[in-house]
Amino acid sequence: MKRYAALLCCGVLLFWWLLPGSPAAVSAAEEPEIPAAAYALLEAETGTVLLESHGSDRLPCGAMAKLMTALLAAEQLEQGAWTMDTVLTATDAVTGTKGAVIWLTAGEEMTVGDLLKGLIVGNANDAAVVLAAAAAGDTKQFVMDMNARAFDLGMRDTWFTSPQGNTDTSYTTAADLGRLCCALAKKTALQPYFRTWRDFLRGEATELVNENTFSRTDETSIGFKACHSEAEGWSIAAGARRNGMQCVAVVLGCGDTDSRFTLAKQLLRKGFAGWKVVQPQLSGEFLYPVQVRGGVERAVLAESGPLKGLVVPRSCTELETVMVLPRFVQAPVRKGQKLGHAAFYQGNTLLYETDVAAADAVPVRDFWDALYQITVKMLKM
């Protein structure tokens, strides 16, 4: 009887635990398990990866390649090669373009602004081809530029094979796409397009609807792209700005459209709730002068380069600064010569390290310098 009573109690407790509002149900509601091939969450200013699951696994890139096409187009605008009103002419390369299109024909003219609208809002493959050919002369050279830019951004597990991304040989990772989106977050010229849900081209003849519904439902959204295919599943790269901080969530290979949006929302919520960006400071007590032996000056002032922001948990109240400088250096000292380094810690965790350099040059003291110093001292006596 005691055994049966114990089993009955266990059953009652288990039933209570699974009731709505119980600890188990609340936990499950807060952190639903959503199947995805990979995901990554990054802080946009620093590119710090906050959370990831299979974030470095190589997966098919698909239409996400258009994000790199958009980035290179934005850089054409920044360099002054284009304006939004620059008119580009579609070449024969658009003929027979498959998938999502805005029905461009060879010889048709369209402004850069409208082509970007077609690329970002309408996911148009032919718009990507026209922008690529105009930027680099032909799409083959543009793809080389895409891969070179990816390397610059640290996207070591990404390979592009077309500006529109409709080939089976391109690949990327969730973390790499996050790095690309961190760069896109800085391109203010693209923000109006990323935040547009529905628009038109050619008057109202061509309707465009953004698959990324965050552009319509989330006022904090800053872009970037949602796409899907039978081979790659349902994916999204989403960014948001809240309380002066920007986060990027990349979700790849979900089984349906709702799953990708739900997981992206969850990741962004965790990012803003769990981390903050702080700006480290080096006060004068750390940057003290370093003695110089054999120089025309007895000491040289130490200075640090620009200090980047650091991502820390919101519970972190103070960073520990450790300065490593020598007691002296031997002349000559070059301006900008590394003297030591400063390190910033959260507890025992090293967050960031930066060089500390000489603020001025200090030449070697020769005979005439020594004679001059002696003469000055004698005159002051």
The CATH number of the domain holding residue 295 is 2.60.410.10
- Encode pLDDT of 209-245 as tens digits: 999 999 999 999 999 999 999 888 999 999 999 988 9
Is 326 found in the same domain as 205?
Answer: no
Asked whether residue 31 carries a pLDDT value surpassing 50, the answer given is no
CA 76 to chain centre: 20
Q: Answer whether residue 365 is part of any domain.
A: yes
Strand, coil or helix: what is 251?
A: strand
Is 295 found in the same domain as 259?
Answer: no
Q: Summarize the annotated binding site as residue ranges.
A: 225
Q: Answer whether residue 167 is part of any domain.
A: yes
Domain boundary among 247, 275, 303: 275
Is 355 found in the same domain as 265?
Answer: no
Q: b/e map of 136-175 (b: 16 or more CB within 10 Å)?
A: beebeebbebbbebbeebebebbbbbbbbbbeeebbbbbb
Confidence of residue 381 (pLDDT cuts 50, 70, 90): low
Domain region containing 90: 32-275
Per-residue pLDDT, averaged over 302-326, amounts to 89
Is 309 found in the same domain as 241?
Answer: no
Which pLDDT does position 376 carry in this prediction? 66
Q: Answer whether residue 2 is part of any domain.
A: no
Q: Answer whether residue 14 is part of any domain.
A: no
Is 186 found in the same domain as 258?
Answer: yes
- Encode pLDDT of 79-90 as tens digits: 999 999 999 999
Domain boundary among 251, 275, 299: 275
Is 257 found in the same domain as 131?
Answer: yes
Please state, in angstroms and as integers, the Cα–Cα distance from residue 305 to each residue in 48, 109, 143, 355, following that order: 20, 47, 35, 7
- Encode pLDDT of 92-104 as tens digits: 999 999 999 999 9
Is 295 found in the same domain as 229?
Answer: no
Cis-peptide into 332, omega within 30 deg: yes
- Spatial distance between the Cα atoms of 314 and 273, rounded to a whole number of angstroms: 8
Which pLDDT does position 29 carry in this prediction? 38
Confidence of residue 366 (pLDDT cuts 50, 70, 90): confident
Beta strands in 78-161 (DSSP E): 87-89, 109-111
Is 297 found in the same domain as 207?
Answer: no
Q: Answer whether residue 80 is part of any domain.
A: yes
Is 270 found in the same domain as 299?
Answer: no
In 3D space, the residue among 260, 270, 304, 204 whose CA is nearest the CA of residue 36 turns out to be: 260
Which pLDDT does position 87 carry in this prediction? 98
| Structural domain total, the chain | 2
Q: What is the mean pLDDT of the chain?
A: 89
For the entire predicted model, the pTM comes to 0.82
In 3D space, the residue among 161, 160, 99, 109 whose CA is nearest the CA of residue 130 turns out to be: 109
- Spatial distance between the Cα atoms of 68 and 139, rounded to a whole number of angstroms: 13
Is 346 found in the same domain as 225?
Answer: no
- Spatial distance between the Cα atoms of 246 and 227, rounded to a whole number of angstroms: 22
Q: Summarize the annotated binding site for substrate as residue ranges.
A: 225
Is 361 found in the same domain as 215?
Answer: no
Alpha-carbon dihedral 245, 190, 83, 80, rounded to 10 degrees = 40
Which pLDDT does position 365 carry in this prediction? 85
